[in-house]
Chains A and B, each alone.
Chain A
C-alpha cells in the first residue's frame, strides 16, 4: 500500500487584519420603545444600548459580509486570490440553501477559496477563529477570511419585549494567516444543549408552513436565565482561556466579550477583576447586540478608537444560543 501524503503543519497562526461594516440607518431607543410599551431610559438601564443599526431596504446579509470582508482584506495586505477558506458565522442568512459563504467568496474575488457557513450564534466568530487557527496549523488552509455577520432585523419581532430592543444588524471580519509562533491561543469551546430553549425561535419553519400566520418565526429569549448563565459561566470560561494561553489578566491589552448586554459585560469584568489598564469592548452602546458580528465589530472599533498596539493581547469570548461558547486570546494585528 502506498503511504498517503499529508500537508506539512505550521507553528501557529495570527490575525493579520480586521474590517467592519455598520449599516447607515440608526435606530433610536425611542423608535424601538414605541412598539414594546417601554422607554429610552428603561432600555439604557437594562442593556446599556443607546442605538443600533439597521440595513437599508434591499441591503442583504451578504452585502454586509462583503463590505466588512473587503476592509479586512485591505487591512491585512493579503490579496483575495490567496485566501483558501471563507468562513461565514451567521444565524440570520435568510436562505436555507445555498450558504452565504460561497457568494461572499465570489464577490470578494476569493476564487481559490473553499467556503462554508458556521452556525454558532453569538459564539460564531470565536468558533470560526478557533477553526481557522486549527486549519492553518494543520496545513489544510493558508489564509482564512472569517466573517461574523447578522441581519437580525429579519428575525426579530418588533413587538417582542424581550428581544426587540437588543438586536441589530452588522458585520465584522478578520483575515487569519500563518505565523512562526502562536498568535492565537488554544480555543476553549463547548456546548450545553440541555439549555437549548433559553434562546430559540418562536416556532420551526415546518410548523409555520403547516399553519401560516402573521407572526413569522422569530428569536425569543429567556433573558433572566441567559443573564444568570452568562454572569456565572463566562468568567470561568475566560479564566480557563487565560490558563490555556499561559498568560494572566495583567498581560492583556484588551478584553472583548460578545456584546450581549452591557450589564453582562459589567458583571463579567467585575468577576474577572481585570486590571485597570485592560481596555474593555463596549461597542453595544451604539451597535446593539449583533450576535456573531459583535466581537469583530467591537475589535475593529477598538483598533481604530484606542489604537490597540500591534502585538498586544486581546481576550475574546463569544457565548449564546445553543447554548454554546468559544474563547481565545489573540495577538492584535
Chain B
C-alpha cells in the first residue's frame, strides 16, 4: 500500500467510518464506499491539509475512485 493510499484510507475512515481494509484503489467513493457529496468535501479538505496539495472544486468530480485521488495527489505533491 502506497503512503498516499494509506493516508487517504485513514481520512476516509475518519470521515465516513469505512473500515480501512475496504479502502482499496479500485473502489469508487460514491458507489462502493457510500461517500456522499458532503463527505467527499470533507475528504478533499483533509487531503489538502495532510498532503499539502490543492484540489479545486472543479477537480473533485473527476476523482471517482480511490485510485483517481491517489494519482491526483501523487502528481501534485
Contact = CB atoms under 8 A, between A and B. Distances in A.
A329 to B, nearest CB: 26
Identify which of A45, A228, A261 gathers the most chain B CB atoms within 10 Å of its CB. A228
Interface string A250-275: 00000000000101000100000000
Size category of the binding interface on chain B: 10 to 19
A231 B42 contact: yes
A224 B58 CA distance: 11
B37 interface: yes
A225 interface: yes
The A contact surface, by secondary structure, is helix
A45 B16 CA distance: 12
Nearest to A222: B57
B6 to A, nearest CB: 22
A224 B45 contact: no
B41 A231 contact: yes
Given A46-B36, A224-B37, A224-B38, A231 B45 contact: yes
A265 to B, nearest CB: 12
A224 B44 CA distance: 11
B38 A263 contact: yes
B52 to A, nearest CB: 15
A259 B7 CA distance: 32
Interface string A93-119: 000000000000000000000000000
Contacts of B41: 224, 227-228, 231
B38 A225 contact: no
A232 interface: yes
A66 to B, nearest CB: 37
Interface in B9-68: 36-38, 40-42, 44-45, 57, 60
Nearest to A229: B41
Identify which of B40, B41, B42 gathers the most chain A CB atoms within 10 Å of its CB. B41
A235 B52 CA distance: 20
A237 B40 CA distance: 23
B65 to A, nearest CB: 19
A247 B7 CA distance: 35
Interface string A33-77: 000000000000110000000000000000000000000000000
B62 to A, nearest CB: 14
Interface of A: 45-46, 223-225, 227-228, 231-232, 261, 263, 267
